[in-house]
Structure 1
Amino acid sequence: MSRPPAHLMWADALALMSRAEQLRRGFFQPVAAGWEPPVDLLETEGALVIVVALPGVAANDVELVVGGGEIAIQGLRRLPPALRSARVHRMELPQGRFERRVALPPGTFELSRRELADGCLTIVLRKVA
């Protein structure tokens, strides 16, 4: 016995909504250190470029450690002081400590530049011969 098309469309819509919610939750993965920001890792001829989504994070609240074939990006996202006493109706951006460890491709790298702008931290690791 087949189900009417309306039931199939409803089941498909629910499945799509469930998948969209999974993707939204996966954007900021919770980890033991708090939360884990999403990262892009790109390679040019002379450098690795890492872009980390850190909305609302101050530059002096981010620490970088390069070594052992990886880079560790850690820090703190603070709720703005003016909002600390606000009543929360919905909060999807993670707060508190974060840490992200990214394995680097084979080679030797040194930190060349870091810049935090428009909610993204851009890290340039120069390839060392």
Structure 2
Amino acid sequence: MRPADPHAWMLTQAIELLQGAHRLHRQFFQLGRSGDVPRWEPPVDMYGDEQMLCLLIALPGVTPERLDVRLEQQVLVVYGERSLAADFGSGTILQLEIPYGRFERRVPLPHADYAVADMLLQNGCLRLTLERES
């Protein structure tokens, strides 16, 4: 529904376009650190409290065998590869919006030492629970 004020409508449209551009930017391949291998970065949601952090990382089509998770000091590193679906058959690809190939995401963590308490890959998302170590 379009707001009555044209300036508010224009601002709403501009914000929606910027958000769309940001999503597209995150989907495109970016140069990796090792050997300039193309990589994409999956989006991450993070929330927590004084004792734990929960992260939800969107990894559509990634199998557990193609996934690696590491804690490197104050950074969570998630990397792996999403293969192009084998069931596309021999037809011509008309549209590819979900990124595939190698990916890597480095997530800086709040200042504390953490350990992985739980990890679940389900419905295209990796859910990680990190507990703060005493």
Q: Same fold (TM over 0.5)?
A: yes
Q: Which 5+ residue runs of structure 1 have no aligned equivalent?
A: 1-7
Whether contact under 8 Å (1:76, 1:97) holds in the other structure is: yes
Identity across the alignment (%): 29
Whether contact under 8 Å (1:29, 1:37) holds in the other structure is: no
Higher strand share: 1
Cα RMSD, aligned residues only: 2.4
Aligned length: 119
Q: CA 1:19–1:46 in 2, change beyond 3 Å: closer, same or farther?
A: closer
Name the larger-Rg structure: 1
Runs of 4+ with deviation above 6 angstroms? none
CA deviation after TM superposition for structure 1 residue 29, in Å? 5.0
Aligned mates of 1:65, 1:84 — CA distance in 2: 35
Q: Which 5+ residue runs of structure 2 have no aligned equivalent?
A: 1-5, 33-38
TM-score, structure 2 length as denominator?
Answer: 0.77
TM-score, structure 1 length as denominator?
Answer: 0.79
Whether contact under 8 Å (1:50, 1:122) holds in the other structure is: yes
Decide which moves more: 108-117 or 77-86.
77-86
Aligned mates of 1:21, 1:71 — CA distance in 2: 26
CA deviation after TM superposition for structure 1 residue 39, in Å? 0.3
Deviations 1:85-122 (A, max 9, x none): 43110101101000000000011101111101111100
